[in-house]
Chains A and B, each alone.
Chain A
Amino acid sequence: MNQRVLDVSTLPAVASGPRATIWWGVVGLLTIEGTMFGLLVATYFYLRLNFTEWPPLGTPAPDLLAGSLNISLLLASMGPMIIAHRAALQERRRPIWIALAICIAMGVVSLVLRGFEFTAMHCRWDTHAYGSVVWTTLGMHTGHLIASTLENVLLALLMRLGPVERKHFVDVNVNAVYWYFVVLAWLPIYIILYFGPHLL
């Protein structure tokens, strides 16, 4: 009997986007972290019910300046990241590391601004439950910002210095997806943390 064969040797050895396993892995990670942020927001609203005033009496509403500058900067940083993303699909190293370098610079400035965001809350984590939840939310997102910026540093260095394998372009691709998440996840939380106290 003649054994029929499904020959896959002409298929590509690398694929990007939803075709790649790593893309799904990162989407899984983002779902987990998105759930985390969602639960933090739920906690924020749950604790709100324990107070007659929000923020609690004696704590002024957060200052808007640092936070608003920061979210604008983060949203703007998606520009160079999109450029890096596109260049990765075309496998062009130079535009990738230049765009990533810009993102890194923006990430560092964002982290400095983040420092001011903590003080803009006018309380500490151990002042009251309001302080605990806003500091934890800010802290958790800051952790993501640091991690993602460091990832950008590693990838920029790799793209600049090599040796680059084809799969590394897929890494740049999913790194961009991760950065989009870090930025976009902050948008609703920024609105809640800064404008919630005025509305709730």
Chain B
Amino acid sequence: MSHDHDAEKNKDTVLSEAELRVRLEQIWKSPDGFTGWFKNVFHKPISERMIITSFVFFALAGLLALLMRVQLAVPENTFLSPDLYNQFFTVHGSTMMFLFAVPVMQAVGLYFVPLMIGTRNLAFPRLNAFGYYMFLIGGLLLWVGLALNIGADTGWTSYVPLAGPEHSPGKRVDFWAQMITFTEIASLVAAVEIIVTTFKLRAPGMSLNRMPIFVWAMLVQSFMVIFAMPSVMLASGFLAMDRLVDTHFFNQAEGGDPLLWQHLFWFFGHPEVYIIFIPATGMVSALVQSFARRPIVGYTAVVLSLIATGFLGFGLWVHHMFAVGLPQLGQSFFTAASMLIAIPSGVQIFCWIATLWSGRVIVRTPLLFVAGFIAIFVLGGLTGVMQASVPFNLQVHDTFFVVAHFHYVLIGGAVFPLIGALYYWFPKITGRMMSERLGGWNFWTFFIGFNLTFFPLHQLGLAGMPRRVYTYLPETGWGSLNFIATVGAAILGIAVLMFLINVTISWRRGALAGANPWHADTLEWSVPSPAPVYNYLYLPTVNSRTPLWTKAEDQPIVKGLRADILEVLVTNLLDAMPDHRHLLDGTSYWPFLTAVAVGIGIITAIFTPWGVVIGSVLAFICLAGWFWPHGEPVPDSSREAGPPVQEAA
């Protein structure tokens, strides 16, 4: 049969390396031009967009923070009106949580997981593109609201009854609620992508207990996303319905319950902290291993800690609600759980310290950020343990002490490792090194600016300064510490600017990196920098946890995939034994169009319940287009024993 003949001709077993490279480059290449942008389904370009988009949101939300700090610099300042201040802190918090921290962690995962496990793309390429567009539309929605001066103004937690129809008329809160719908869909999509990709597309030999710890971290995070995000989607759905069609979920007068909002929100909200933090610890593990030049101490302990954190993270949500008057037994339970979670985090920290202690440490910018992370996160963790205690918690509830605590945890625990990881992986993304000199400056400015901004807030909180107030009286004596914090914020702003400048300059003019500039051990460093569009010329095999440091001299490579279609190898879940070849979906406009259709539905639903119907009909049409059969020939008939396969020359 001619079809079988074609297939044989295009196997990588019969092509020379040069021929194969040309073929693969053709088929895995991103589509060109403006319209091509909307068709792309490859994991590296899509994740790159996602990282850049979330950093744009990060910069914008940081700008809002700076403006708030200016307002708070001196007592009775009139720089911002109370209403604008409310919008700013709401959009700042919502952006940092929903449009920066979660998406950027997932984006780094979506970029590096396929590379680290040795495959060519994510399991569902089109779905991944769809997720990106959902994220983008949701982010724009929130910011268009702010730009029109009708931005959400009830805090990133949007507590009812404040956010309910009675106290927040107009459409401000609805922008917020629907932004949640968009971003959580995007986040769930990314979680399923990462789970299925790590379960089924690992290189032969990479059994679960040989997976890089960063991949483990992304896997645990994805499971947390799957169980946590539905809660906030449901809650924001209830809120939108209460506001639009007069349901009574949170309306006490008709038997609803404002506390239901808090339960549903924090059942998502507390795991959310770990959803942000766990990938960051995965990054730290990767960096520590590479810069200590030795396998991580306590691989099993670290992995089990990640999993334990994933479970315990769901048992803490009520500690955000100690002030609402809950039964004492409940409070004690959640106090215990909140203290318990310090244990797995502690285990990880000791493993990192032991690895660094016993390794041959090479200090580069990424490792500086790891050191900064450990220092700051330990402080943030300690104030967290303090707040697990109910009496202390009540004392500092809703004060700047809490603001100080979660910025120590989130910036120290997530942004420091993230910036370190970007310094570390930048060469793999761009082919060039970031400047070490500017990197050192960047780190120290960041570290000093951060502490100067947030350390004084602890004291301000203990002194009783409430969060979310737009000004304070001179008699409170809070002026000088606030002024110091504002100076710190300016330095922090400069640090972020230095990072962006370093990225921009190095992208064009950085020193060429070569395949493995850090002499690291994970698979992504075995391919050229930047990684080729097809990731691996021949898929790799793996014989240990540190595949590049301990590979056999004649470590086998995988052959037998076709070079004329988007074929990858599927392996089994536990041991990564080769199972079957699988044809991935190629480029398409439909993910973009489907996202637009769903977007029209969700945004229309801000104004009329018919939005749900309109969105569903449009989305159905688009999904039919997405899955429309093209009558392409069945890719292979190898189920009936195929012709004998030639050995590579």
Contacts and interface: CB of A to CB of B under 8 A. Distances in A.
Contacts of A166: 634-635
A167 interface: yes
B554 A46 contact: no
A29 interface: yes
A15 B578 CA distance: 12
Interface string A1-37: 1111111111111110011110011001101110110
Nearest to B642: A10
A6 B559 contact: yes
B624 A165 contact: no
A167 B565 CA distance: 15
Contacts of A81: none
Contacts of B639: 12-14
Contacts of B233: 36
Contacts of A171: 627
A143 B195 CA distance: 26
A92 interface: no
A28 B196 contact: yes
B245 to A, nearest CB: 7
B3 interface: no
Interface stretch (B107-115, B252-260, B396-404, B431-439): B252-260
Contacts of A3: 554, 556-557, 648
A14 B572 CA distance: 14
Interface string B550-588: 000111111111000000011011000011111100000
Which of A10, A130, A135 has the most chain B CB atoms inside 10 A of its CB? Answer: A10
Interface string B160-192: 000000000000000000000000000010011
Given A6-B557, A12-B638, A168-B629, A32 B226 contact: yes
Nearest to B242: A132
Interface string B403-439: 0000000000000000000000000000000000000
B245 A25 contact: no
B247 A4 contact: no
B558 A129 contact: no
Given A24-B199, A28-B196, A126 B554 contact: no
Contacts of A56: 255
B32 interface: no
Contact of B636 (A13, A131, A146): A13
Nearest to B188: A32
B236 interface: no
Contact of A39 (B230, B247, B248, B578): B230
A6 B558 contact: yes
Contacts of B560: 7-11
Contact of A28 (B11, B226, B238): B226
B300 to A, nearest CB: 25
B255 A6 contact: no
B248 A129 contact: yes
B580 A14 contact: yes
A119 interface: no
A7 B556 CA distance: 10
Contact of A47 (B246, B260, B636): B260
Contacts of A9: 11, 13, 559-561, 638, 642, 645
Interface residues of B, number: 74
Contacts of A31: 226-227
The binding surface of chain A is classed by DSSP as helix
A128 B255 contact: yes
A21 to B, nearest CB: 4
Contact of B249 (A11, A20, A29, A43): A43
Which of B229, B248, B616, B638 has the most chain A CB atoms inside 10 A of its CB? Answer: B248
Contact of A125 (B245, B569, B578): B245
Contacts of A125: 241, 245-247
Contacts of A176: none
B479 to A, nearest CB: 45
Interface in A92-132: 125-132
B569 A50 contact: no
A164 interface: yes
Interface string B522-549: 0000000000000000000100000000
Contacts of A126: 245-248
Interface string A145-178: 0100010001000100011111110010000000
Contacts of B238: 43, 132, 136
Contacts of A8: 558-561, 569, 578, 581
A51 interface: yes
Contacts of B647: 5, 7
Contacts of A182: none
B42 interface: no
Nearest to A24: B196
A25 B123 contact: yes
A87 interface: no
Contacts of B264: 39, 43
Nearest to A38: B230
Nearest to B191: A28
Q: How large is the interface on A (under 10, 10 to 19, 20 to 34, 35 or more residues)?
A: 35 or more
A29 B124 CA distance: 13
A19 B570 CA distance: 8
Given A6-B541, A9-B642, A46-B263, A19 B580 contact: yes
A89 to B, nearest CB: 12
B13 A28 contact: no
Interface in A40-74: 40, 43, 46-47, 50-51, 56
B257 A47 contact: yes
A163 B628 CA distance: 10
A133 interface: yes
Nearest to B228: A35
A141 B123 CA distance: 28
Given A8-B560, A9-B645, A166-B634, A15 B196 contact: no
Nearest to A151: B623
A4 B629 contact: no
B631 interface: yes
B110 to A, nearest CB: 15
A7 B231 CA distance: 46
A128 B561 CA distance: 60
Contacts of A20: 570, 582
Contacts of B559: 5-9
B337 interface: no
A168 B390 CA distance: 56
Given A158-B629, A165-B632, A35 B230 contact: yes
Contacts of A150: 620
A10 B581 CA distance: 9
B485 interface: no
Contact of B579 (A19, A39, A130): A19
A127 B465 CA distance: 42
Contacts of B229: 32
Contacts of A1: 553-554
A14 B191 CA distance: 24
Given A12-B639, A128-B255, 13 more contacts: A8-B569, A8-B578, A13-B581, A28-B226, A29-B192, A32-B188, A39-B231, A47-B257, A125-B247, A129-B254, A136-B247, A166-B635, A167-B583
28 contacts: A2-B554, A3-B556, A3-B648, A5-B13, A5-B648, A6-B556, A7-B13, A7-B645, A9-B638, A13-B582, A14-B639, A15-B580, A19-B580, A24-B123, A24-B195, A24-B196, A25-B123, A32-B226, A36-B230, A39-B267, A46-B260, A47-B257, A50-B257, A132-B241, A132-B249, A135-B247, A167-B583, A171-B627
Which 4 pairs show the lowest CB-CB distances between chains A and B? A9-B560, A13-B636, A132-B247, A129-B255
